[in-house]
Amino acid sequence: MEYGAVGFPSRPKLAKITDALCGALFPMRLGPDFVRAHNENAFVAETLDTVLSRLYGQIRIELAYSRDGATPEDVDAEAGQIIGRFAAELPQLRATLDTDVEAAFAADPAARSVDEILICYPSMQAIIHHRIAHHLYRLGVPVVARIISEVAHSRTGIDIHPGAVIGERFFIDHGNGVVIGETAIIGKGVRLYQGVTLGARSIPYTEQGVVERGVPRHPIIEDDVVIYAGATVLGRIIVGRGSVIAGNVWLTKSVPATSHVQQANIVHDVKERAAVSAPHRLGETV
């Protein structure tokens, strides 16, 4: 079956739906300018009533495509269940996002307030979109989720697959060029900088030469890891808790907790220069 036979989810509509969800999650920062403390609750209730109905419509379109043989009644019922579960998860989603904002404020001395982070930081926009998309991905609508992720990607230059699992207190500083693959698992308190790739080392194939989908092929990044600009971490490897991966490192092997990984040639050059410039003791030969 092709999408054209039954229609497919609309990227422009999902972009508007996600923007409205962002406004409902953070009404005083990301909502319209008429929202104030006295009408905040009413705005959130009205917005969610409208936006969840519209999201239900987009989910229904995907299910009608992907559920061969399902009756319209079956599709309606499943779409309703997904929307109900998604709505029930929104308070926890907001609580997790609060930890992300706090992590950004704690890590970036250039930030003057959490409001500035929410309003200005493209990485925060990408993270909000990802957390919405990831919930929908888990609930069984991967195309809707992927569209939401790609909306953020086109706006921010940050590419996070909705299948990636990301823990609390996540922060991406600057952000352009960050890529996080489908099966990546990121722990709590992780910080990435621009140009970081958490990718696959190779594409898995079956004996028949067909690409295997859903195979774990991206890194596991444990809690409190920092990965600096331009680093590339590939394959199903583990970066141990509390490790620091320096800029422009190419890493394809697991490292234990509290590792400090740098480019070997740079470390070697620095040591050589230090040895040459150090004063020699009496009787020492060079």
pLDDT tens sequence across 192-208 = 999 999 999 988 888 88
CA 169 to chain centre: 12
Neighbours of 43 (CB within 10 A): 18
Residue among 218, 220, 263, 216 at smallest CA distance from 241: 220
CATH superfamily label, 1-157: serine acetyltransferase, domain 1 (1.10.3130.10)
Read off the pLDDT band of 280 (50, 70, 90): very low
pLDDT band at 210 (very low <50, low <70, confident <90, very high): confident
Closest CA to 173 of 118, 102, 227, 123: 123
Q: How far apart are CA 96 and CA 105, in angstroms?
A: 15
Q: Would you say residue 129 has pLDDT above 60? A: yes
Give the model's pLDDT for residue 149.
Answer: 98
Q: Is 266's pLDDT higher than 60? A: no
Residues 6+ apart with CB under 8 A from 76: 60
Strand order in the sheet with 244-245: 171-173, 191-193, 226-227, 244-245, 260-261
pLDDT at 108: 96
Q: Which amino acid is at 57?
A: G
Share of the chain above pLDDT 90, in %: 84
pLDDT number for residue 3: 40
What are the angstrom distances between the C-alpha of 219 and each of 159, 172, 185, 203, 228? 15, 17, 7, 14, 16
User: Tokens at residue 278, please?
Assistant: 């150090």
pLDDT given for residue 218 in this prediction = 97
pLDDT tens figures, 172-190: 999 999 999 999 999 999 9
Strand order in the sheet with 250-251: 159-160, 179-180, 197-199, 232-234, 250-251
Q: What's residue 162's pLDDT?
A: 98
pLDDT averaged over every residue in the chain: 91
Q: Which of 134, 127, 204 is nearest to 173 (CA)?
A: 127
Alpha-carbon gap, residue 2 to 116, rounded angstroms: 44
Would strands 185-186 and 165-166 be described as parallel, antiparallel, or unpaired? parallel
Q: Which among 203, 283, 219 has a CA at the least distance from the CA of 251?
A: 219
CA–CA distance, 69 with 198 (Å, rounded to integer):
38
Domain-wise residue ranges, the chain: 1-157, 164-286
274: confidence class by pLDDT, cuts 50, 70, 90: low
Looking at 2.160.10.10, 2.10.77.10, 2.40.50.140, 3.30.70.580, the CATH number of the domain 164-286 comes to: 2.160.10.10
Distance CA 90, CA 229 (A): 32
Cα separation of 181 and 186, whole Å?
A: 11
Mean pLDDT of 107-132: 97
